[in-house]
Amino acid sequence: MADTLYIIKENSWIAKFAGFLMRFDKIAIVFGKTIYLHNCKKDDFLANKRWFAHEMCHIRQYKKYGYLNFIIQYLWESIKKGYTHNKFEVEARAAENEIL
């Protein structure tokens, strides 16, 4: 994880919109290597090791599959299986437990 660079943006309209669509009050969403936050301060996000590990997994997925390819596959998985069973979300949830 140390070799994966990331950028964090607070008060993001992108994350706010995603939160509205998903009905989440507090949200982080990743595009490329940028983590967009809504209703969460950067320090609070970084202090939450599980959440940070989850979003870093998505950054690694972007790196592995490529930007556009990852987005297409992620959306297709979500349409077919739903958000919870999307293989990329399953992998990211598993990454939360790797830090324990």
pLDDT by residue for the chain (100 residues), tens only, comes to 455 699 999 999 999 999 999 999 999 999 999 999 999 999 999 999 999 999 999 999 999 999 999 999 999 999 999 999 999 999 999 999 987 6
Range(s) of the domain holding residue 89: 7-98
Residue 44 covered by a domain: yes
Residue 24 covered by a domain: yes
Burial class (CB in 10 A: 0-12, 13-18, 19+), 47: exposed
Residue 1 covered by a domain: no
d(CA 37, CA 12): 6
pLDDT of amino acid 4: 61
Q: How do the residues of the chain divide into helix, strand and coil, expressed in percent and rounded to 5?
A: 65, 15, 25
